[in-house]
Structure 1
């Protein structure tokens, strides 16, 4: 059964030049709790439509009227509002009126004498379409707002991920710089000590040669360590480049870039690294982003080893070609993840190490990079002694 409540409190602009008909229809519309604004012709109706301070929900109009007929009024109104529901009432059944009605997007066509029940049904049908359209517009607006919020949230997460990665990089830079800086300090101290202590007899040719050789060797050492520091900075700087350019490369290249950054850190924590590169396929990738993914996974494994004090810690990285792509498996023997958590480890802000200040965005960003930016796949499976992360990337994206 049609719900007549939809008509309650709507406002109808009613144009009818015959006063008796106008009064009768208006009285009936009032019974439906409809607000009615009455006009005597199309010109008056157009003027009221343009100037009314009330929102007009529907137009009910006769066709044959003085000054400006119903069709003329509708044409002018359609220039202002293409969607407002319009119902025509007329005693005429000429085909030309019906054709005009179709072209002007008329909601319904009611013949005189007016059947109140048919008029009511026409009003409900016309208003239902308007309400549904307005609801759809409102939902679209809310959806756009939610999309914008999600985009802003994504940008925040990406920024957080970038800062978290930067923090990890700074820690690794500090770690990798300790030994070269210590060696530079030792070489500098030896130079100063030898110079001030008078260890070389500069009055003899032999003493001068000995001093020159000593200073040359120490300065060569310092130059070597400075170059080492410079290379480290270049590796990390390249990682943070934001260039979004596809590189056609084997997957071995970003893995090697990752190891330039993290391998010394793994070695210093006695973590064995086993590499098995079998893949030869070239794929289109954002190299820095894929490097970011590998660093996230390897750092998670390292943190887990240290947290659990794992003996004989081991990470294996295997690559192999698959149809139209490559598969990378990164395995560690640091214990698995609870089965209930396997499906949610890639969700934003989920972390198994919150007590250790885990951000819970590293794996989420890895999923975004692999699945959204590269149309690939990333997932994890528990193994007997640990967990394996699988990354699948395709040759053409």
Structure 2
């Protein structure tokens, strides 16, 4: 969400949030007819926190300038200054204020009201229920507008909190820097002007192997979060280490639009660990030398005292065990310190966010929209809390292959983009195959299925107006399982079908595809899971076939 630069975040107290749950706002009522006033004032009083009443447009304009009400209700015909003219003057002062106009049925008045952007035009005599419905609608819109301003204000504070405690940068899809905060400038020694527009490898340390960056790009281009400790070089040539999390940011279509990197300085911890490793090697060398010297001495003493030789060997072994234990404890202490820092950086703001969501839920009462937002927000907080555990798993070796159910995994993948498919009016038909299991990488397989479904969705949206369908068939063939993803989107051109698995080749517009999705999918299936991924055109579309050993 982009912050509104015109919004004064320092004057947030001026927003009337204390009345938001009751949805009551101040109303200016301008009406010359005492009979209409008598009919409508009780309703307006019920809906308003403050009601200001004027009998002509001039008086109404003065009251507006003095009290700055939230809603205007006015008649068209009045002495001195008519309602339409008054509304024009008010719109010059506050262009987005909601205005409800009452008046006789007149096409000219209605046209003028539309031109100045009023909310509603109610024909006299005004139906009371109709007025209540209109006020309900206007107050709800005002409430949502002020809630949005408040959320933007809170997000601005969260951004400041992250910027002040972490090293943050953003790049485009090609790794060109588009944003850095002050902490990034401090640790790198570069100014913002020197960094913006440059490739992020401006701080890359030459000691880092090329393979490391290849794995890094492979991960984030697959829309996965990358985490690791990176060795960088500052402008003055000094080395610094940062614990880094790089998050791909995608648009509504699932296309990566930029990368956000959040880091914190772990230079002291890394240097301490390197120092401990050097000490460990020195002690290991001393131990070896000690072993050699002891061995020489024991040879000389063996003939004199066999018992003494055994005691010396026993003591040497004890020393080795003590040294190993000391080194292990030092490593664990360093790791514990790093994990403690992570927990402190994450859990405090997460707890504050949880409290804030709870307060919003408590104030929202029976507002279903706010409650839905609360449920979504708390779900996101739970996932963010899990990040600490995910970070710990980083220090363990890569996860091994596992046995997983094909049907359930595909079903879970479909649920991820179910909303997008419904929006495009696409029906997904999943055949039965609930008992079939394979041995491999579940998450990577799910990514392949998502990529194939997204490609089919794009083809259907581009080439078909109705009856858009995707069939996913699961069946057993000897010692293999076949997964077929079929669409009726018109198929792939014959001169292109042999190239679609090549890297950086895409049939989509350059702004809609990178040409890496099918290439990465084929690598996952054939190299990581010992399977086969093929494509062919069928009667009404394309069919992708995955063949995996059971």
Structure with bigger gyration radius: 1
Taking CA–CA contacts closer than 8 Å with sequence separation of 6 or more, which of the two structures ends up with the larger relative contact order?
1
Q: TM-score of the superposition, structure 2-length normalised?
A: 0.34
Q: TM-score of the superposition, structure 1-length normalised?
A: 0.45
